[in-house]
Amino acid sequence: MSLFGFTMLSSMLVAAGAYAPVQGSAPEYREIKDWVLACDNTHACVAKYLAASDGGDGGGYLSVERAAGPNGGLTVTIETVEGDTAPDPTTLRLDGRSLPGFTWKIDAKAQAATLAGDAALRFIRAIRDGGAISFSRTKDAPLVSLTGMKAALLAMDENQGRLGGETALIRLGPKPASAVPVAAPPPVVHAAPARGPLPGAAAFAAQVRRARADILGQHDCDAGQASQDEAGPLDAANALVVLGCQEAAYQGSVLIFIAPRNAPAKARQLILPLEPPLSASDTSTDGEYTEGEWDPKTATFSQSAKGRGIADCGESTVWTYDGKAFVLSTYNAQPRCGGPPGDWPTLYRTRTVVR
C-alpha cells in the first residue's frame, strides 16, 4: 500500500501469505464525466456528482443511492459542504427553472436534504435530461453538473437488473418489479478473536523489529517510527506485530508480521495486496499499510489511506482473521477527489459471525 496513493479492488484479489480471496459478485466502479458510480458485491449502488476537473465542483453535491432487489430503497441527497447551513430545497433550479412539488427532509447538522421512495424516483426523472441544478438563495448558489448522471444511472439500472422495467431510473419498460433480481447475499466471514493477552508485548515487538531489519530496510522504513510499534495476540500459537514504517504530513504507514509467540525472531511479513483494475500496481510498496491497526478483540486488521489531506478521496480496508487466514471483509474506495470528506463508497461488504 503506497503511503501517498491507493489501489483499487478487482473481481479477484491476489493471495499472499495468510490471505483468502474475495467472494461473491464483482464490484463495479466507473467515472463518467462529472459523475461516478459504485456498486458493491451485493449490487447496492450509489451514483454521485464529482466534477471531473479538480477544483470545479461548483460547491454543491448530489447523490443517488439504491439498494438491490425488487423493493430496493431509493434515496436522493443534496448537500452543502462549505458554510454552516443546510441546502434550501425551495430554491432548487434545473437549468434556471424552479423545481416545485417535492417535500424534502432537512438535516441541518449534516447540511443535507433528502428525498426517498417515489418522491426520489419522480425527482430523478424530472432532472435526468437537464444540464445542471442549483440550490441556495445566496449570490453564489451551489451548482451541480448533471453531465454524466444519466449514463451513470443507466449503468446502475443495468447492474441491478432493472433495464426495461417499471422500476428503472432511465430506460423504462414493461417488466414488473418482481422481475428484478434479489440482492446478492454478502459472504459470511467467521471472525476468530484472540483468547488471552500477549505478555511483554512491547519487548516482543522490539525483538521482531531487530530480527526483520532486512525487510524494514527494503521499505526504507524510518527507525524513528519504532515508537509506533505494537504487538498483540493473533491465536494460541502466534502474535501479530505492527511496525511503524513511514510518516507523512497527514498519515503514516506500517508493516505487519506474524510471529510464533515463543520465537519472535521467526516473524514473517504478512502481505495483503489488492490487484488494481484501474491503474498499474505499485509493487514497490506491497506490504505497507496506511494508518494500519490490529484489533485482537474483533480479529480485524484495518487500514485507511487518504488520497489527499482533506480526505475527499481515498480507500479503507478491513480484513478479518478466521483462525487460519485473513479474509477481506470491507472495502471502500473513491479514487476521484471531491465531495464530502470521508464519504467513500462501499465496494465490498460481508456479514461477520464471531466464532
pLDDT, residue 249, reads 86
* pLDDT in the model for residue 14: 30
pLDDT: which is higher, 311 or 57:
311
170 and 197 both lie in a single domain: no
Other Cβ atoms within 10 Å of 197 Cβ, number: 10
**Domain endpoint, select from 179, 213, 246:** 179
Name every residue whose Cβ is closer than 8 Å to that of residue 320 and which is 6 or more positions away in sequence. 189, 191, 298, 299, 300, 326, 327, 329, 350, 352
Q: Is the domain of 197 the same as that of 253?
A: yes
Query: Is residue 9 included in any domain, yes or no?
Result: no
CATH number at residue 99: 2.60.40
pLDDT of residue 22: 52
On whether both 322 and 198 belong to a single domain, the answer is yes
For residues 330 and 22, the answer to whether their CB atoms sit within 8 Å is: no
- What are residue 91's phi and psi, to 5 degrees? -100, 5
Residues 170 and 229 in one domain: no
Residue 215 domain-assigned (yes or no) = yes
Region of poorest pLDDT, from 106-110, 148-152, 174-178, 314-318: 106-110
pLDDT tens digit sequence for 299-352: 999 999 999 999 999 999 999 999 999 999 999 999 999 888 889 999 999 999
Which residue, chain included where needed, has cell 479514487?
A: 335
Tell me, yes or no, whether 87 and 198 share the same domain: no
Q: Which of 145, 179, 213 is the last residue of a domain?
A: 179
54 occurs within a structural domain: yes
Q: Measuring CA to CA, which residue among 336, 316, 342 is closest to residue 328?
A: 316
More confident residue, 93 or 141: 93
Across 197-224, average pLDDT? 96
Q: What is the pLDDT of residue 12?
A: 32
Is residue 66 within 8 A of residue 74, CB to CB? The reply is yes
pLDDT of res. 55: 54
Q: Is residue 159 part of a domain?
A: yes
Mean pLDDT value across residues 43-66: 87
- Look at residue 83 and tell me whether its pLDDT is greater than 90: no
pLDDT digit string, tens, across residues 239-293: 999 999 999 888 999 999 999 999 999 999 998 856 443 333 444 457 999 999 9
Residue 15, pLDDT score: 32
Is the pLDDT at 207 greater than 70, yes or no? yes
Q: Which domain holds residue 61?
A: 28-179
Q: Do residue 161 and residue 259 come from a single domain? A: no
> Are both 120 and 241 inside the same structural domain?
no
- 115 and 196 share a domain? no
* Domains identified in the chain, total number: 2
Question: Three-state secondary structure along the chain?
Answer: CCCCCCCCCCCCCCCCCCEECCCCCCCEEEEECCEEEEECCCCCEEEEECCCCCCCCCEEEEEEEECCCCCCCEEEEEEECCCCCCCCHHHCEECCEECCCCCCEEECCCCEEEEEHHHHHHHHHHHCCCCEEECCCCCCCCEEECCCHHHHHHHHHHHHCCCCECCCCCCECCECHHHCCCCCCCCEEEECCCCCCCCCHHHHHHHHHHHCHHHHHHCCCCHHHHHHCEEEECCCCEEEEEEEEEECCCCEEEEEEEEECCCHHHCEECCCCCCCCCCCCCHHHCCCEECCEEECCCCEEEEEEECCCCCCCEEEEEEEECCCCEEEEEEEEECCCCCCCCCCCEEEECEEEEC
And the C-alpha cell for 113? 436534504
In a domain, 15, yes or no: no
CA 130 to chain centre: 29
What's the pTM value of the predicted model, to 2 decimals?
A: 0.88
Q: Are residues 106 and 66 in the same domain?
A: yes
Please report whether residue 65 resides in a domain. yes
**147 plus 206 within the same structural domain:** no
The reply to whether 286 and 332 lie within a common domain is: yes
Regarding whether 214 and 294 lie in a shared domain, the answer is yes
Q: 137 burial class (0-12, 13-18, 19+ CB within 10 angstroms)?
A: exposed
Examine residue 268 and state whether it is found in any structural domain, yes or no. yes
User: Rounded to the nearest 5°, which phi and psi values hold at 192?
Assistant: -125, 80
Counting residues of the chain whose pLDDT is more than 70, the rounded percentage is 86
Q: Tell which of 149, 179, 209 closes a domain.
A: 179
Residue 193 forms part of a structural domain = yes
pLDDT score, position 155? 98
* 31/177 Cα distance (integer angstroms): 28
